[in-house]
Structure 1
Amino acid sequence: MRILTCSAIAACMALTAPQLAQAQDLGSNFKRDKNVSVRQRPRPDYEATGQKAGGFTLYPRVTVDFEHNDNIYAVATAKTDDNIWRVKPELAVRSDWSRHALGFFAGGNVIRYSDKGTEDTEEYTLSANGRLDVARGSNITASGQYQRLTEPRTSITAGSPAGATPKPVQYDLVTSSLVGTKEFNRLRVTARLDDKDFNYKDQGSPLFNQNTRDRNELSYGAKAEYAVSPDTALYVSATGNKKDYDTNLAAFDRSSDGYVLGVGANFDVSELVRGDLQVGYMKQSYDRAAFKDIDGVNVLGRLEWFPTQLTTVGVNGSRTIEESVAPGSPGFVSSNIGASIDHELLRNVLLSASYTHGKDEYEQIARDDKRDNFAATATYLLNRRVGLFLTYNYLKQDSTGAAKGASFKDNKLIASVALQF
């Protein structure tokens, strides 16, 4: 189950770091831009102009968050509240070329607690990405990224078999990807290779050892899409993966191989609905004999409804196999369904809300986790340089079974200001 975040800045596309411009695809059967969501809609009067530097444009930005959290340790009783400051400087660089593209990003996140200084951490990200336009409808993209991240206390993978760790768990994540796309009129073929390397930081005690989680995840796959019309395509996809754990302790070795086979459709069929739906079969086989295979139905989907040009309603769902840190369990099947709504009250005032329900069913142990998350954000863009955000986030987790994990409720209220140039 993916970890849910509550940062106000993440809810506003207007101040999101620029991404690489897409290759020219005029006349393509795979364009899905008939409808424009509230978050995607251009707002020239409120977008950063950037700083020109030769063939590149620099987009500096800094965001300051002030958060009140009523349960910073994510526990059921004896809750501890605190006020948290975050300062997030960022610099995005994007090329201005007519063909090909190149981009860079550097960002940090300094986190400070008013009372509980042991929770203080720093995060940072360095990344580069590029696109080579081989021919019309054909391109190759590549990216690389290094991150130092902190696992939230509310994460289902936070802590250890001995309980909550003395300090937040930090880890380094190195990711890289290579994607090739070729379009043949009604047929488009995409092949991709992704690599992730996780390196967790030790907690200084054998009771809270995190090194057993160090691993490399390699995934590879291909997707073939056939456009039955300019606004609808059917596709088949196949993705394989190999996960290698570094540990020499057999009890913690969850090395495995797996695959996902799927069929689906993506569409933008009217001025009302756009989406991408896939269903298939997934399987993960573990090297350790004591761990049984996990398999079942795989689902990935998202739908967007546009009742008016000022409102976008979204629905999403997934069913996937995820990594476990619970003793005796190789992994779990995570099922999630969610809904969201974005409304443009004024050109510079946006209101957003989302709700997600998830259930994690652990293999070979008696444990089920249910999570409910609600978030609401109000965005006020003063001008192209300043944005204000107010976010409320509610998270509830119920864990049941003989090997159950933590159950808790957590409320966060976050006020943010973003400055961009």
Structure 2
Amino acid sequence: MFHVLKSIAVSVSAGSLAMVSGAADAQIAPTASGQLAQTQDAAVDNFSRSRNTSVSQRTRPDYEALGIRAGAFLVYPRLELSAETNDNIYATGAGEVDDTILHVRPELAVESGWSQNFLSAYVRGSINRYGDNEDENTEEFGVGTAGRIDVTRQSNIGFGADYVSTFEPRTAPSAPRNAVAPTELDTAQTYVSASRSSGNVKLTGRADWRSFDYADGRDGLGAVIDQDNRDRDVASLSGRVDFAISPDTAFFFQATGNQRTYDVASTVAAPNRDSRGAEFLFGANFELSAVVRGEVAAGYIEQSFDEAVFDDVEGFGARAQLEWFPSELTTVNVAAGRTIEDTPLTGVGAFVSSSTSIGIDHELLRNVILNARLTWSQDEYEGVDREDTRLGANIGGTYLINRNLGVNASFSTLDTESSGAARDQDFRVNKLAIALVAQF
């Protein structure tokens, strides 16, 4: 359901505003793969973690869109109008350029109203217009679907697919610094998952495929910036076993394998970065009384490259996501992770990314939600002397006028520092945004 301006609710759970965070990087993000498919059977007490309700999950009947009935489906039209000021639109360390950006984001979502099984689809766009720097103007588009088949009360099959035509944010570490216009990026992804629980044991499996296609750009002299060496397909397969020791605690083991295949053939001057990787994690999933719930895991990660010029990467892997409920009106979210990511740098295969964040959502009134979020991340490049550190902060609020209208406002800052012989530039970006959302 589109509870409380669907994108607003999702954004609050992340500690920012959907329309504001979208405005921040001027891109359309696909729906989280499997978000609709990875549901758990509430009747299975050993794996249900529904004792608490977070601020972002809480239903607000007087402020939820009713949708338009179309047979067995509900259709949710939505339109967002937002304005943003950005004091460093090119994310540079010197000669910062500021601008005001207007965003128009229409969206149409469809959800089934069946008592069993589930099917949804969406189509959305974003028209982004800069006041003084027309080369930054973009138009984005996304379409996708997700579903769940309830085989039995304890087992289901999930599936989904997305296609998004967007642009790489200027703040991305891989974005070409000399490009006169943002780099166009087309992504496609699909997945299928299956889950079955029986007694104290739950089995879960998932297969994913993602594709990244970057368009060539041009520098200030008109020369082509070749981006073909970044185009790639990523396939992954994971399996997980959960074993419950009580109705509120379960231990699990998860194994994931991936294969990353680049489109450009390897040459002596530009070897491609084809690789295979694995992740093995042991962890626990829990909900302790009415105070905290979450999942923590740690283990081993590795990525091995076909070309010897790239250093293989291996080491400690981890992820964590916790929710603390100091009161019914306040939710504190903590997340952390350590993963291996690809890099476009010549002669460098990957970097190890460590990240952590903390966010607070507070329901000041039934229709007034405040939030704050602090993020930190560090990228350690393998085979080259470079380390990037990012510190970000966001504060904002949502005012729900009625079930059809809402207003969001936020301020965010991102401070990036790079060190080492192959360092990138340091920069800071500050943004202030306000948005009006209409939904039906």
Contact 1:23/1:99, CA 8 A, preserved across alignment = no
Contact 2:120/2:145, CA 8 A, preserved across alignment = yes
Write the mapping of 1:334-353 to structure 2, written as runs, cut at 5 A. Answer: 334-353=353-372
Aligned residue among 403, 407, 420 for 2:426: 407
- The match for 1:61 is 78
Aligned residue among 140, 164, 172 for 2:186: 172
Aligned residue among 196, 207, 221 for 2:238: 221
Encode CA deviations 1:256-306: one digit per residue, 9 max, x unaligned.
Answer: 000000000111111011111010100000011111110010010011111
Structure 2 distance, partners of 1:317, 1:27, is 28
Q: How many residues get paired?
A: 411
Aligned residue among 321, 325, 330 for 1:302: 321
Structure 1 distance, partners of 2:386, 2:372, is 30
CA shift at 1:25, angstroms?
2.9
Contact 2:20/2:82, CA 8 A, preserved across alignment = no
The answer as to 2:397 corresponding to 1:359 is no
Structure 1 distance, partners of 2:160, 2:223, is 36
Contact 1:373/1:396, CA 8 A, preserved across alignment = yes
- The match for 1:106 is 123
Contact 2:86/2:431, CA 8 A, preserved across alignment = yes
Aligned amino acid, residue 186 of structure 1:
N
CA shift at 1:56, angstroms?
0.3
- The match for 1:93 is 110
Encode CA deviations 1:12-42: one digit per residue, 9 max, x unaligned.
Answer: 9xxxx99758575324311111111111111
Aligned residue among 204, 217, 220 for 1:190: 204
Contact 1:138/1:182, CA 8 A, preserved across alignment = yes
Structure 2 distance, partners of 1:5, 1:27, is 30
CA shift at 1:8, angstroms?
4.3
Query: Which secondary structure state, in structure 2, belongs to the residue aligned with residue 271 of structure 1?
Result: coil
Contact 2:19/2:82, CA 8 A, preserved across alignment = no
- The match for 1:140 is 157
Write the mapping of 1:18-417 to structure 2, written as runs, cut at 5 A. Answer: 20=36, 22=39, 24-159=41-176, 163-204=177-218, 207-250=224-267, 251-417=270-436
CA shift at 1:85, angstroms?
0.6
Structure 2 distance, partners of 1:284, 1:343, is 40
Alpha carbon RMSD of aligned pairs, Å? 1.9
Aligned amino acid, residue 286 of structure 2:
F
- The match for 2:10 is none
Instruction: Give unmatched runs, 5+ long, in structure 2.
Output: 1-13, 23-30
Query: Which secondary structure state, in structure 2, belongs to the residue aligned with residue 268 of structure 1?
Result: strand
Aligned amino acid, residue 356 of structure 1:
T
Structure 1 distance, partners of 2:41, 2:290, is 23
Query: Which secondary structure state, in structure 1, belongs to the residue aligned with residue 229 of structure 2?
Result: helix
Question: Aligned residues: percent identity?
Answer: 41
**TM score, norm. by length of structure 1:** 0.94
Instruction: Give unmatched runs, 5+ long, in structure 1.
Output: none
Structure 2 distance, partners of 1:407, 1:85, is 27
CA shift at 1:7, angstroms?
5.0
Encode CA deviations 1:112-153: one digit per residue, 9 max, x unaligned.
Answer: 101100001111111011111111110101101110011110
CA shift at 1:417, angstroms?
0.6
Contact 2:17/2:409, CA 8 A, preserved across alignment = no
Segment drifting more, 326-335 vs 409-418: 326-335
Query: Which secondary structure state, in structure 2, belongs to the residue aligned with residue 164 of structure 1?
Result: coil
Structure 2 distance, partners of 1:5, 1:42, is 18
Contact 2:73/2:111, CA 8 A, preserved across alignment = yes
Contact 2:41/2:48, CA 8 A, preserved across alignment = no
Aligned amino acid, residue 183 of structure 2:
V
Encode CA deviations 1:27-75: one digit per residue, 9 max, x unaligned.
Answer: 4311111111111111111111100000000011011110000000001
Contact 2:235/2:258, CA 8 A, preserved across alignment = yes
